[in-house]
């Protein structure tokens, strides 16, 4: 049994892998690592974050559907604000601007061309515990 799990690699349902990859590359700064248009799947990455884009025929084999919500956990409020600015300036579909939530997450939300959501957050609850100590 493994002591820890590796990083998860989400599968994002899209209508067209190539079109979706273009948005993720252009507006969100991901790299297109590989694409099998015939097979209906492509891989994108940015830093240590990897994701798969899959079309309907690919998903039909497994009975999966969408849209989905992907949570991306960043390391600071500054990273949240910087990424928001970068994505906004690149033309990303911003659905919610950065905001400190009552549940101690600073977060914002972006949508893709297929209705999937990227919820980008930083959990600042540990900062509050240190400030109270």
| Residue from 9, 50, 44 nearest 23 by CA | 44
- In this prediction, residue 64 has a pLDDT band, given cuts at 50, 70 and 90, of confident
pLDDT tens, position by position, 51-63: 999 999 999 999 8
- Is the CATH number 3.10.180.10 carried by domain 11-132? yes
Q: For the chain, which residues make up each domain, given as ranges?
A: 11-132
Task: Find out whether the peptide bond into 28 is cis, omega within 30 degrees of 0.
Answer: no
pLDDT single digits (tens) 13-37: 999 999 999 999 999 999 999 999 8
31-56 burial string, b = 16+ CB within 10 Å, else e?
A: ebeebeeeebbbbbeeeeebbbbbbe
**Alpha-carbon torsion angle 98, 101, 104, 105, nearest 10:** -30
Averaged pLDDT score across all residues of the chain: 92
Is the confidence at residue 71, as pLDDT, over 70? yes
């Amino acid at each position: 049994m493994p002591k820890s799990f590796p990083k998860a690699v989400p599968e994002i349902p899209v209508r067209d892998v190539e079109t979706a990859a273009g948005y993720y590359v252009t507006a969100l700064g991901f790299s297109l690592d590989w694409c099998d248009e015939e097979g209906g799947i492509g891989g994108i990455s940015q830093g240590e974050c990897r994701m798969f884009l899959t079309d309907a025929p690919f998903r039909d084999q497994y009975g999966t559907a969408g849209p989905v919500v992907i949570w991306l956990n960043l390391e600071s409020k500054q990273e949240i604000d910087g990424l928001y600015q970068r994505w906004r300036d690149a033309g990303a579909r911003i659905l919610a601007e950065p905001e400190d939530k009552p549940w101690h997450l600073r977060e914002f939300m972006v949508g893709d061309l297929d209705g999937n959501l990227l919820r980008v957050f930083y959990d600042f609850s540990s900062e509050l515990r240190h400030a109270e100590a």
